[in-house]
């Protein structure tokens, strides 16, 4: 019988589903075998060394050295093997391929909201192309949820205070379950949905149908709505750092540490601008905690990302304060 037919396991529909199942089955069989052996030996010894008139008091026996070494060395190599295999799988599941398609997911009591970079929005349904790595950037609007694709054998917590990423590559077209895998309140069990895996051409057709402009262009509108552009100008005359080229670059902070400007850094810089101040800028920017909702945050992130791919005009440096002749007070990113 094929593993895929075994009713305990959902159909394998992603590039790493088979690897995850193989590892899982190996662990189960190994643990099961060892448990059965231990119980058999317990029963055998309990009978063999039971109390008899000739054997009233137990006697201590030194085990042979070779046996003692064997039961230390063999499990050591088995455990190291499990560690190396598990770590390999974990890194494989964590490392998102560079050519991945971006999807944004937001958990909310009690629904999943999905946002495509081209602007399409969906609730409790996610359309993805087959045989293409998909990177899901995940957040929550309230409590901790967990986005679970059983057929893809992957799952990640949606956290209320930061972004997480997960990825998968669906290998079969079809309709597969989405579950919330973290108890999140009364309707937790109803927080379910479907992922529709489509042929690339069908996906293109689906994407072409109706959108409110790309996510980045919606983000630009949010950027203007909150008047971010008054400080984050496109040349180095504003009170805040120029955002062109920032995303993905290395940023020097006021305490001279450096970090990579990634999703979580951008998010934190919007919600809590004082936390990581860019070197040379004053802590002027107000917090947007509680003012910008998750949807607008995602749009802003997409906009800042799109700026990250742009090049600065020659001579301008995004992370340096403007020359002394410019304004002397500056904001944070
Ligand atoms: Cu959301 Cu459980």
Beta carbons within 10 angstroms of residue 183's beta carbon:
11
Query: In which domain, by residue range, is 237 found?
Result: 215-325
Same domain, 37 and 181: yes
**In the predicted model, what is the mean pLDDT of residues 174-186?**
93
DSSP calls for 116-166? -TTS-EEESEEEEETTSEEEEEEEESSS-EEEEEGGGTEEEEE-TTS-EEE
- Residue 2 forms part of a structural domain: no
pLDDT at 286: 81
CATH number of the domain to which 244 belongs? 1.10.760.10
- The confidence band for 325, taking pLDDT boundaries of 50, 70 and 90, is very low
Indicate if ligand 1 lies below 6 Å from the C-beta of 107.
Answer: yes
Q: What burial class does residue 158 get, using C-beta atoms within 10 Å of its C-beta: 0-12 exposed, 13-18 middle, 19+ buried?
A: buried
The more confident residue out of 35 and 322 is 35
220 is a domain residue = yes
Q: Is 153 in the pocket of ligand 1 (CB under 6 A)?
A: no
Residues 157 and 300 in one domain: no
Atom of ligand 1 nearest to the CA of 109: 1
pLDDT value at 330 more than 50: no
Residue pLDDT, tens place only, 32-73? 999 999 999 999 999 988 888 887 887 788 889 999 999 999
Answer with the one of 155, 179, 211 that is the final residue of a domain: 211
How far is Cα of residue 24 from the mean position of the Cα atoms in its chain? 21
Say whether both 253 and 271 belong to one domain: yes
- Residue 332 confidence (pLDDT) above 70: no
Q: What is the pLDDT of residues 185-214, one digit of tens each?
A: 999 999 999 999 999 988 888 887 665 667
Q: Maximum distance among all alpha carbons in the chain?
A: 103
* 206 occurs within a structural domain: yes
Kindly state if the Cβ of 113 falls inside 6 Å of ligand 1: no
- Residue 173, pLDDT score: 92
119: left (phi over 0), alpha (psi -120 to 50) or beta: left
The reply to whether 55 falls in a domain is no
- Is residue 58 in a domain? no
Answer whether 171's CB lies under 8 Å from 130's CB: yes
Q: Is there a single domain that holds both residue 268 and residue 203?
A: no
Q: 131 and 255 in one domain?
A: no
Within a domain: 152: yes
Residue 70 covered by a domain: no
Are the C-beta atoms of 150 and 187 separated by less than 8 Å? no
Nearest ligand 1 atom to alpha carbon 181? 2
Q: 228: how many CB neighbours lie within 10 A of its CB?
A: 22
Cβ neighbours around 142 below 10 Å, total: 14
Q: Are residues 181 and 318 in the same domain?
A: no
Q: Which two tokens stand for residue 46?
A: 């309990």
Are residues 237 and 145 both part of a single domain?
A: no
Task: Tell me, yes or no, whether 230 lies in a domain.
Answer: yes
Q: Is 191 in the pocket of ligand 1 (CB under 6 A)?
A: yes
Query: Among 162, 190, 211, where does a domain finish?
Result: 211
**DSSP 8-state secondary structure symbol assigned to residue 14:** B
Confidence tier at 279 by pLDDT (50, 70, 90): confident
Residue-level pLDDT at 333: 42
Quick one: 207 and 221 in the same domain?
no
Residue 9 has pLDDT above 60, yes or no: yes
Q: What is the pLDDT of residue 252?
A: 87
| 10 CA from centroid of ligand 1 (Å) | 20
Q: Within a 10 A sphere around the Cβ of 67, how many other Cβ atoms?
A: 9
107 falls in which pLDDT band (50, 70, 90)? very high
Of all protein residues, whose CA lies closest to atom 1 belonging to ligand 1?
145
* 256-262: average pLDDT: 87
- Same domain (yes/no): 121, 149: yes
Q: Is the CB of 184 under 6 A from ligand 1?
A: yes
pLDDT of the residue at 58: 76
Helix axes 294-308, 215-225, angle to 10 degrees: 110
143: confidence class by pLDDT, cuts 50, 70, 90: very high
pLDDT at 5 over 90: no
What confidence score (pLDDT) does residue 324 get? 39
Q: Which residues contact 305 (CB under 8 A, 6 or more apart)?
A: 216, 247, 266
Torsion, Cα of 257, 263, 268, 273 (10° steps) = 70
CATH code for the domain in which residue 169 is found: 2.60.40.420
Residue 193 in contact with ligand 1 by CB distance below 6 A: no
Query: How many angstroms separate the alpha carbon of residue 110 from the centre of ligand 1?
Result: 7
pLDDT attached to residue 184: 93
Q: Which residues of the chain form beta strands (DSSP E)?
A: 101-108, 111-115, 121-123, 125-129, 133-140, 145-149, 154-158, 164-169, 174-180, 193-198, 250-252, 258-260
Regarding whether 134 and 172 lie in a shared domain, the answer is: yes
One domain for residues 151 and 238:
no
Tokens 């860019």 belong to residue? 278
Last residue of a domain, one of 211, 227, 259: 211
Measure the CA angle with vertex 4, ends 2 and 6; round to 5°: 80
Please tell me the total count of domains within the chain: 2
pLDDT of residue 14: 92
Q: Indicate if the pLDDT at residue 150 is higher than 80.
A: yes
- Residues 18/24/26/28 CA torsion (nearest 10 deg): -150
- Asked whether residue 260 falls in the same domain as residue 305, the answer is yes
């Amino acid at each position: 019988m094929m593993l895929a037919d075994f009713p305990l396991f959902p159909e394998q529909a992603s590039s790493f589903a088979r690897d995850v199942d193989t590892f899982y089955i190996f662990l189960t069989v190994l643990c099961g075998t060892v448990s059965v052996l231990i119980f058999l030996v317990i029963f055998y010894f309990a009978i063999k060394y039971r109390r008899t008139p000739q054997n009233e008091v137990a006697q201590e026996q030194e085990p042979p050295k070779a046996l003692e070494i064997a039961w230390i060395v063999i499990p050591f190599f088995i455990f190291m093997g499990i560690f190396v295999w598990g770590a390999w799988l974990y890194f494989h599941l964590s490392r998102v391929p560079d050519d991945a398609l971006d999807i944004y997911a937001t958990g909310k009591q009690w629904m999943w909201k999905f946002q495509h970079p081209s602007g399409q929005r969906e609730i409790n349904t996610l359309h993805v192309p087959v045989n293409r790595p998909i990177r899901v950037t995940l957040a929550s609007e309230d409590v901790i949820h967990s986005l679970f694709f059983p057929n893809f054998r992957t799952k990640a917590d949606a956290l209320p205070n930061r972004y997480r990423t997960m990825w998968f590559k669906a290998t079969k077209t079809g309709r597969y379950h989405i579950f919330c895998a973290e108890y999140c309140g009364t309707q937790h069990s109803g927080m379910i949905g479907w992922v529709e895996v489509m042929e690339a051409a069908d996906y293109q057709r689906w994407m072409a149908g109706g959108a409110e402009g790309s996510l980045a262009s919606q983000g630009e509108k949010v950027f203007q709505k909150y008047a971010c552009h008054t400080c984050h100008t496109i040349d180095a005359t504003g009170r805040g750092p120029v955002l062109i080229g920032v995303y993905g670059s290395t940023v020097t902070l006021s305490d001279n540490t450096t970090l990579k400007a990634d999703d979580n850094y951008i998010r934190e810089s919007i919600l809590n601008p004082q936390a990581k101040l860019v070197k040379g800028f004053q802590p002027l920017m107000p917090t947007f905690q509680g003012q910008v909702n998750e949807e607008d945050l995602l749009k802003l992130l997409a906009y800042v990302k799109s700026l990250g791919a742009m090049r600065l005009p020659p001579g301008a440096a995004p992370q340096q304060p403007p020359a002394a002749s410019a304004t002397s007070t500056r904001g944070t990113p």
